[in-house]
Amino acid sequence: MNIVNPSALTPPTVILFDWHATLVDTLDAMYHAVDEVIPKFGELGLLERLTAPENSKTAEDRKLVAYVRKHQRLHPKIKIDKKISRTDIFEVLFTNDDAAKKIAHAAFNKAYENHFGEIHPMEEGIDTMLETLQQEGVKLGVITNRDRQFLRHEIDVINVSGWGHLFDTVVCGDDVVNRKPSPDLLLTALEWLNIEPDMSCWYVGDSTTDTIAANDAGVTNIFYNGANWDDEWLMKIFPRTTQHPHRPDSIVHSFGEFRRLLESYLDIEFHDSGMQ
């Protein structure tokens, strides 16, 4: 997908990363929690607030909403494919109803307490790459819609010794009023770093909500296509229409590709980390 000429990007002085499905894999726990929440939509008053068909971005989004409305669960194929985050699921289901999304996120957090724990890096060598960037003076941070109680545990146990020392700032969903796709998390991270938002801040995330948040914050968005969406699907979820104008500034399909993108902008020699 031809998003932008690589020479048009601004070299990064700070790089913020999404957590789930970007740096780490917690997909099984996430889907278990979503499975627990959706059957409660009726008692939470959310069934009648599901988005109307005409407000869905794509035909696939309309099918997802219709299936949840009828069956009060996710379609099994969504859980098999493991390509959509809970934030994007709630965005599809409730579109512009921010109050409904807050109720759904709160219910998810309660359910996630029953499932979180096991966690793995999305790709081999991510920690080595982060260490090199840190040593070269690039500010690093984590941005997540997860509540701090979950992120604190996950960041402390990843790779046994934890990754907390690799980040200059960590901002969680319960640190702000509005979670992604609001830009609040990104703007708060930069405020805590005493850095003004501009295109020298790169935000790396795997979802459309990450792209919207980055665009609205005025920073560079690098879309991590860890789900391996094909170009046809990427054009569907980033149509650049009046209603859905947001697109990433660049797309990478692996952290090896992201590292090569960094090497084209920064005078950094990365250690061999086993990345492809």
Query: Which range of residues forms the domain containing residue 170?
Result: 6-25+118-263
Single out the residue in 95, 112, 129 at which a domain terminates: 112
Q: Each residue of 190-232: pLDDT tens digit?
A: 999 999 999 999 999 999 999 999 999 999 999 999 989 999 9
> What is the rounded distance in angstroms from the CA atom of residue 124 to the CA atom of residue 104?
33
Whether residue 10 is found in the same domain as residue 104: no
pLDDT for 44 beyond 90: yes
Chain-wide mean pLDDT for the chain? 91
Whether residue 157 is found in the same domain as residue 98: no
Q: Each residue of 232-274: pLDDT tens digit?
A: 989 989 988 888 899 999 999 999 999 999 999 998 888 766 6
Single out the residue in 112, 137, 162 at which a domain terminates: 112
- Percent of all residues in the chain with a pLDDT value above 70, rounded to a whole number: 96
> Does residue 273 form part of some domain?
no
Whether residue 122 is found in the same domain as residue 227: yes
Position 5 scores a pLDDT of 56
Q: How confident is the model at residue 161 (pLDDT cuts 50, 70, 90)?
A: confident
Q: Each residue of 103-128: pLDDT tens digit?
A: 999 999 899 888 877 788 999 999 99
